[in-house]
Amino acid sequence: MLVALLLAYPLAAGAVTTGNGALVYSPTASETFDNAGTTYARIITLKNSGSSYNGQLIATFDQLKEVSGQQVYPIYRSTDNGATWSLIANVKDTTYGTTRTSQPMLFEVPQTVGSLSAGTLLLAGNIFPEDGSSSRIVIWKSTDHGSTWSLLSTVDTGGPTVYDPSTTSTTTTIWEPFLGLDSSGNLVCYYSDERQKSSNILQALVLRKSTDGGATWGAVTNVVAVANNSDRPGMITVTKLPNGKYMATYEVVNKPSISLNTAPVYYKFSDDGVTWTASDLGTPIKLKNGRGIGSSPYVKWVPAGGPNGMVIVSAKWGLDSSGNISGGQNFYVNYNLGLGDWERLPMAVTYDASDTAGGYFSGFAQSFDTSVDGLTLYQATNVENLTTGRNDIRVGTIPLNANRYEAERATLSNVSVGTNVDASGGSEVQYINYSTSSVTFNVNVPTSGTYTVNVRYSNGNGSTSTHAVSVNGGTASTISYPATVDWNRYQWAQMTASLNAGSNTIKFSYNTGYAELDMIDVYKSGTALSDEFWIVNRNSGKLLEVYQASTANGGTIDQWGDTGYSCQRWTFTSMGSGYYKIINKNSAKLLEVYNGITTDGAVVDQWSDTSTNTQQWLMTPTDTGYFKLSNRNSGKLLEVYANSSADGAIVDQWSDTGYNCQQWTLVKEGTK
């Protein structure tokens, strides 16, 4: 048998993808004092704590109940990549007499910072008394990987914990701490600050810096502070990019308007993490079609995903192009250092994204981190439990080293293609309901072996459905799809497949019940598969390709609209110093300037690897999310000749003209 279902235990890596992730904590209705039960899930992977501890996961959250008359921050640990969790500590205030905890933030110190050694864990939070008469951001530290904690310092104190986003509010609360390091290695605490209303700033995002490892804190500095008495930025998170810049994300309450307040996510940049243009509200995160995300974002740059890695942002809900809440089962990702167009990456764990103010806030203020090797993403979020009526905390994983294949681009028989706002690429395959219905994926892998296949599906049928699955025409086995909440809610099924080096087929056929297919991820634990992209010209919007899918040396490079052929997909191999070999997926040959010519107008073609500089290209980002590709041998730029926007237009090299035909961007979602 060539395909086998996974049993209840996880793969060797221990990561949990099926079953909507692994359960960390489930409150009961009787023990909670807030309908939500839980919010604000936070997770980190230990990466600076020594070989005995690196790879362990630490999680906490807002646990909306009392433990012995006082609310605590529970600390959970997993030593098997998120499969199982154990409570190792309850952190609470023993200094200020407060009884309420909220808005936790976990941080592992990556290097010596003042008196803090690498591997020290920090927990920041907002604590307040029972009557909510004050707000206080404090930090605890742990030097034993989360088992015990001691108070490190108070960052700041503010007014009563009253949420009032109206333009006439007089509140003075401080909220929502986030920790990081600046470019000088100082500890920085970012947070929300309502104390500047006399300057017509409804709420500011601010920071305080510590030069002694968090023992004392400097002056309040604004990050985002818009003096219009309306825009209310909040819930800031910050990540450092490989180009040295810092990127902040945050929600903006009272956007897109006070009457339509869906808190779209914005972002902005800093050169050092502490110097920001405070009066600049930033830029909303949006797909090319205008869809965005809103509420309680979390951002992290990860090295996987492409030549520049990728920026990943989570948020509670999706937004349509008019700013209305619409779906919400995807991370938003950017492959161009946070600039330009955004795409989507399916979430490991899904939840009721439409649960808005007044509800239980599932998916609110979630977070994620990557494994030590950077190939697995762990997502922690609160998910509605339909039995208890409260939110559980769950952790799920997705591979970042997978090749993604869209169901609508597979070979289809007696099925329909439909749209769904949360589907990868915007489409899914439906009505796989008949004896002749099938979806056949054409999958390419570099080496023979056993691969994991994650299948993103929906099943609103109310009971488990199945497909028959065969690999390369072999004997079929069965994959099961437990029921999802409805037909618009995705989960993952998982199987293994024995694949040959090169091309393979994986065929899903009707078996029992009904299930819809969105996409599959194909990957192998510990193996970084090549990321495949369209390379899209800024001027024409057309794709870089090898003409007529040629596999011969000297095959012409041109541009064309999307044909679905692999001659339009490319992989990148780093050569160091920012240079890459750019390899065609169909031919496995390299993009080059023919014969090493250095003149303007020289033909660009494909050729087998010659280990010469004419086959290497430097990616230089612009400030608009596009990049220029300059040939290492000639120094000239890859362009579409004469600024043409026509199918079949020749691609050549030329000196920098400043024209858009010399700029390109990378696209991954929906390409194969």
**What are the pLDDT digits (tens) for 27-81?**
998 888 998 999 999 999 999 999 999 999 999 999 999 999 999 999 999 999 9
In the predicted model, is pLDDT for residue 500 greater than 80?
yes
Segment 357-363 mean pLDDT: 76
Segment 236-246 mean pLDDT: 97
Phi-psi map region of 623: left, alpha, beta (phi>0 left; psi -120 to 50 alpha)? alpha
In the predicted model, is pLDDT for residue 628 greater than 90?
yes
In the predicted model, is pLDDT for residue 145 greater than 90?
yes
User: What integer pLDDT is reported at residue 356 of this predicted model?
Assistant: 66
Does domain 534-667 fall under CATH 1.20.1530.20? My reply is no
CB atoms within 10 A of CB 116: 21
User: What integer pLDDT is reported at residue 417 of this predicted model?
Assistant: 98
At 624, the pLDDT band (50, 70, 90 cuts) reads confident
How many Å apart are CA 236 and CA 453, to the nearest integer? 35
How many Å apart are CA 547 and CA 372, to the nearest integer? 41
User: What integer pLDDT is reported at residue 13 of this predicted model?
Assistant: 44
**What are the pLDDT digits (tens) for 402-454?**
999 999 999 999 999 999 999 999 999 999 999 999 999 999 999 999 999 99
State whether residue 27 is helix, strand or coil: coil
User: What integer pLDDT is reported at residue 357 of this predicted model?
Assistant: 54
Q: Which residue has the tokens 């920012």?
A: 578
User: What integer pLDDT is reported at residue 451 of this predicted model?
Assistant: 97
Q: Residue 215, CB half-sphere, CA atoms under 13 Å: how many?
A: 7
| Exposed/middle/buried for residue 589 (C-beta within 10 Å: 0-12, 13-18, 19+) | buried
Q: Residue 512, CB half-sphere, CA atoms under 13 Å: how many?
A: 12
**What are the pLDDT digits (tens) for 254-278?**
999 999 999 999 999 999 999 999 9
Residue 456 tokens, joined: 């993103």
How many Å apart are CA 665 and CA 669, to the nearest integer? 13
Among 173-182, 240-249, 358-367, which stretch is predicted with the lowest mean pLDDT? 358-367
Residue 427 tokens, joined: 């489409």
* Spatial contact of 273 and 180, defined as CB atoms under 8 Å apart: yes
* Residue (of 651, 643, 565, 561) closest to 606 by Cα position: 651
* Residue (of 571, 565, 583) closest to 528 by Cα position: 571
In the predicted model, is pLDDT for residue 526 greater than 70?
yes
DSSP-derived letter for residue 322 is: T
* Residue (of 494, 456, 467) closest to 9 by Cα position: 494
* Spatial contact of 586 and 567, defined as CB atoms under 8 Å apart: yes
What is the chain's mean pLDDT, rounded?
Answer: 95
| Exposed/middle/buried for residue 542 (C-beta within 10 Å: 0-12, 13-18, 19+) | buried
How many Å apart are CA 131 and CA 39, to the nearest integer? 20
User: What integer pLDDT is reported at residue 605 of this predicted model?
Assistant: 98
Please state the φ and ψ torsions of residue 296, each to the nearest 5 degrees.
50, 65
DSSP-derived letter for residue 70 is: B
State whether residue 266 is helix, strand or coil: strand
Q: What is the chain's alpha carbon radius of gyration, rounded to the nearest angstrom?
A: 26
Please state the φ and ψ torsions of residue 642, each to the nearest 5 degrees.
60, 25
User: What integer pLDDT is reported at residue 213 of this predicted model?
Assistant: 97
Please state the φ and ψ torsions of residue 643, each to the nearest 5 degrees.
60, 30
Residue length of the chain: 672
* Spatial contact of 481 and 386, defined as CB atoms under 8 Å apart: no
User: What integer pLDDT is reported at residue 527 of this predicted model?
Assistant: 80
User: What integer pLDDT is reported at residue 1 of this predicted model?
Assistant: 23
How many Å apart are CA 244 and CA 602, to the nearest integer? 35
User: What integer pLDDT is reported at residue 658 of this predicted model?
Assistant: 96
* Domain 21-399, architecture per CATH: 6 Propeller (2.120)
User: What integer pLDDT is reported at residue 358 of this predicted model?
Assistant: 55
**What are the pLDDT digits (tens) for 447-483?**
999 999 999 999 999 999 999 999 999 999 999 999 9
User: What integer pLDDT is reported at residue 9 of this predicted model?
Assistant: 27
Q: For residues 480 and 8, which has the higher predicted lDDT (pLDDT)?
A: 480
Strand partners, 546: 557
At 14, the pLDDT band (50, 70, 90 cuts) reads low
How many Å apart are CA 232 and CA 212, to the nearest integer? 31
User: What integer pLDDT is reported at residue 354 of this predicted model?
Assistant: 84
* Residue (of 290, 312, 289, 316) closest to 300 by Cα position: 312
* Spatial contact of 606 and 546, defined as CB atoms under 8 Å apart: yes
User: What integer pLDDT is reported at residue 5 of this predicted model?
Assistant: 29
Residue 501 tokens, joined: 């080096």
At 623, the pLDDT band (50, 70, 90 cuts) reads confident
How many Å apart are CA 487 and CA 514, to the nearest integer? 10
DSSP 97-118: ---EEEEEEEEE--S-BTTBPT
In the predicted model, is pLDDT for residue 2 greater than 70?
no
In the predicted model, is pLDDT for residue 101 greater than 70?
yes
In the predicted model, is pLDDT for residue 279 greater than 70?
yes
- Which CATH number does 403-523 carry? 2.60.120.260
Please state the φ and ψ torsions of residue 205, each to the nearest 5 degrees.
-100, 130
Residue 68 tokens, joined: 């012995």
State whether residue 250 is helix, strand or coil: strand
In the predicted model, is pLDDT for residue 11 greater than 80?
no
In the chain, which segments carry CATH 2.60.120.260? 403-523
In the chain, which segments carry CATH 2.120.10.10? 21-399
In the chain, which segments carry CATH 2.80.10.50? 534-667
Q: What percent of the chain has pLDDT over 90?
A: 93
How many Å apart are CA 657 and CA 527, to the nearest integer? 41
